[in-house]
């Protein structure tokens, strides 16, 4: 194992493969959502409250900053769920070969971004 190997550390020439990016975003989106838990519970409380408080809640989430935050959490959820399904399939040995793994990584990125955009446009 002491063979001299060529080293290629030109950081402007190398980049993470797509499956690694999906995996990293899975972790980042998970960390983000664990911070968002109480706020999502607060939103659920808002949708379940009385009519007057519901109106106050609606005007709160119509604030552009709150909307952007909600969209970020929505993307985090969709990406985490799609990437999670991909990992569960790999656990049962579906799509572990490299071409399929690269394709499914692309699909995860695309589906979560497109769904976020569609729901965002629909709800805005």
Partner 1 sequence: MVNRQVVGAHYGLRDWLVQRVTAVIMLVYTIGIVAFLFLATDASYAAWQALFACTWVKVLTTVTVVALLWHAWVGVRDIWMDYVQPVGIRLTLHVLTILWLVASFIYSIHVVWGV
Using the rule CB under 8 A, give the single segment among 7-15, 17-25, 47-55, 102-110 that binds partner 1: 47-55
The sign of the torsion formed by the CA atoms of 59, 51, 116, 76 equals positive
Tokens of 3: 């063979």
Q: Which is nearer to partner 1, 29 or 105 (CB)?
A: 29
**DSSP tag of 12:** T
Site for partner 1 in 79-98 (CB under 8 A): 81, 84-85, 88, 91
Cβ–Cβ contacts within 10 Å for residue 121, how many? 8
The sign of the torsion formed by the CA atoms of 101, 103, 105, 107 equals negative
Q: What is the rounded distance in angstroms from the CA atom of residue 78 to the CA atom of residue 124?
A: 18
Rg (CA), the chain: 20
SS3 percent helix, strand, coil of the chain, rounded to 5, is 75, 0, 25
54 is an interface residue for partner 1 by CB under 8 A: yes
110 is an interface residue for partner 1 by CB under 8 A: no
Among 38, 52, 59, 98, binds partner 1 (CB under 8 A): 38
118 is an interface residue for partner 1 by CB under 8 A: no
- Min CB(66)–partner 1 separation in Å: 18
- Min CB(13)–partner 1 separation in Å: 26
Residues engaged in binding partner 1 (CB under 8 A): 27, 30-31, 33-34, 37-38, 41-42, 44-45, 47-49, 54, 81, 84-85, 88, 91
């Amino acid at each position: 194992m002491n063979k001299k190997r060529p080293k290629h550390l030109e950081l402007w020439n190398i980049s993470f493969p797509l499956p690694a990016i999906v995996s990293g975003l899975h972790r980042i989106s998970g960390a983000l959502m664990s911070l968002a838990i109480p706020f999502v519970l607060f939103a659920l409380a808002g949708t379940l409250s009385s009519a007057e408080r519901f109106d106050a809640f609606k005007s709160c989430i119509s604030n552009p900053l709150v909307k952007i935050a909600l969209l970020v959490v929505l993307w985090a959820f969709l990406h985490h769920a799609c990437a999670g399904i991909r990992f569960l399939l790999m656990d049962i040995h579906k799509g572990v070969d490299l071409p399929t793994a690269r394709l499914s990584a692309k699909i995860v990125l695309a589906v979560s971004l497109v769904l976020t955009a569609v729901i965002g446009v629909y709800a805005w």
